[in-house]
Structure 1
Amino acid sequence: MTTSDKQFDSQFDKVENLVHYLWIGCNYASAPKRVLIMGDSHYTVNDEGEFCLEEYDRCVTDKEYTRGIINCAIEEGSWKFHTNLQKTFLDESDMDVEGFWNKIASYNFIQEPMKGTHEVPSLADYETAWKCLADVVQIIKPDVCIFVGLRNDKGMNILEEKGVKYSIQTLDEKINNSYPKRGELQFVDGNKLPFYMIHHTAQYYSPQLWYDFLNKEIPEVVSFLDK
């Protein structure tokens, strides 16, 4: 069974409003390219898509919640979010799913669990998410960040409170009826983090098209993840 590296947990405990520990692949810290992949939200619903209080309570109290979901995805391949993400970076004829997750760091951007499949995060949720990310980046020092979801640029101006400058642009290339975004975070210490926002992998998503896009933008990262 693959498990998350826990070397950063004591530092994660100090990040205000960070609900869950990040998934940290066992090879992330020593990787030639540190890749942080951001999910969207946790949805605390039952199999019928209805709000489940028990699941919500578990989500907000269990710091290992995200890690448990990723472990389940590795072992069972249960959700399109994960399977399509894996297909974006891995050769389908020889998919080393466990190896992929061992290389990366990942967590869900929005900290407040959604109570319905059609619920969307509030502006305050996005602002909290950006402040958490600014702190997390200082801990795990990624070289690039990939957001799964194109709406996550909301509330970015809150970064000014932490002295973080940012730039972002919507690119002209239309993929899956949407347009990718490219940006950069610039921290007070001079560290810069390039990031990309891609179409959500759970629906209306073509892994090959987004592989082509990312391979054009960050070929060394794509090559590393598929080794």
Structure 2
Amino acid sequence: MQPRFIPWTPEGDPRFGGVRLLVLGESHYEEGDWIDDGRPLPSDYTIGLVRDWGVRPPARQPFYASVYSALTGQPWEADQAKLEAFWNSVLHYNYVQKLVPGGARAPVPGDFWSFSEPMFRTVLEELRPEAIVVTGRRLWRNMAEEDAVLRPSDDPMEVWVGYRLSDGRLVPAMHIRHPSSPGFDWRKAAPSVEAFLQEVRAGSIARNPA
């Protein structure tokens, strides 16, 4: 099943630190006249948000700025060359493929998760990332069941899982706190992301599932 909101996919073979990386967000929200009432919605909505708030933001936007810092390990600054280089090195997709009513931080209706799962699987097959960074604990708990636990841990923030593609390859995934959540500290998230990506680059995660 094809997604309603197509992913941000830079031209060529985008790579962040040598890894084809998918940054997975949770959802878009209804705002004003922008409601999910059965009428067709712009399929490039996610792409437009990345372009307008990630690559060329008029001001600092918490989600996109914090994603930038958590992955690069650098504080966000209004440097378009750096922002463009970063967002053109990663893939980005929002898991929930319906507009969530109630605005930011509103609960995602339960059936939205199951509705979105087959589209997530389609996107994985089409994008074929080598790793996934999931943004948010709620998304991590509710997204499609993983196909393998690659790194168990008593600390839920240090658990890594894998999603299996049709050719048998496992795509490792880890998560961070939601970058827009109160108290999010990119300085704490960055080392975990880098440790994860180091293992991906070494090729050791999917070869040695727990």
Residue identity (%): 17
Q: CA deviation at 1:207?
A: 0.5
Q: 110, 115, 118: which one pairs with 2:101?
A: 115
One-letter amino acid matched to 2:142: K
Tell whether the 8 Å contact from 1:148 to 1:199 is kept in structure 2 after alignment: yes
Contact 2:133–2:174 at 8 Å: present in 1 too?
yes
Matches within 5 A, 1:14-53: 15-16=1-2, 18-29=3-14, 32-45=18-31, 52=32
Greater CA drift, 122-131 or 97-106: 122-131
Q: Distance in 2 between matches of 1:214 and 1:80?
A: 18
Query: Do residues 130 (structure 1) and 117 (structure 2) align?
Result: yes
1:213 Cα deviation after fit: 1.2
Post-superposition Cα deviations, 1:133-191, rounded to whole Å, max 9, x if no partner, equal 1111111110001110112232634x8xxxxx343776434xxxx73542111234212
Counterpart of 2:45 in structure 1: which amino acid? Y
Change (3 A) 1:60 1:115: farther
**Structure 1 counterpart of 2:188, which letter?**
L
State the Cα distance separating 1:210 from its structure 2 match. 0.4
C-alpha contact 2:162 2:170 (8 A) present in aligned 1: yes
Relative to structure 1, is the Cα distance of residues 193 and 66 closer, same or farther in structure 2, using a 3 angstrom cutoff? same
In structure 2, give the amino acid aligned to 1:167: V
* 2:114 alignment partner, SS class: helix
SS across alignment from 2:93: strand
Q: Counterpart in 1 of 2:56?
A: 75
2:178 counterpart (200, 210, 224)? 200
Q: Residues 181 and 198 of structure 1 are in contact (CA less than 8 Å); yes or no, is this contact kept in structure 2?
A: no
> Does the 8 A contact of 1:167 with 1:185 survive in 2?
no
Change (3 A) 1:120 1:180: farther
Task: Write the letter of the residue equivalent to 2:177.
Answer: H
Q: In structure 1, the residue corresponding to 2:157 is in which secondary structure?
A: coil
Aligned residue in 2 for 1:61: 41
| TM-score calculated relative to the size of structure 1 | 0.72
Assess, with a 3 A threshold, how the Cα gap between structure 1 residues 206 and 60 changes in structure 2: closer, same or farther: farther
Contact 1:130 1:155 in 2 (8 A): yes
AA of the residue aligned to 1:191: R
Unaligned runs of 5+ in 1: 1-14, 46-51, 160-164, 223-227
Does the 8 Å contact 1:60/1:113 carry over to 2? no
CA distance in 2, matches of 1:170, 1:41: 27
Residue equivalent to 1:84 = 66
Deviation at 1:23, TM superposition (A): 0.4
TM-score w.r.t. the length of structure 2 is 0.78
Q: Does the Cα contact within 8 Å between 1:28 and 1:105 map onto a contact in 2?
A: no
Aligned-partner SS, 2:34: helix
SS at match of 1:131: helix
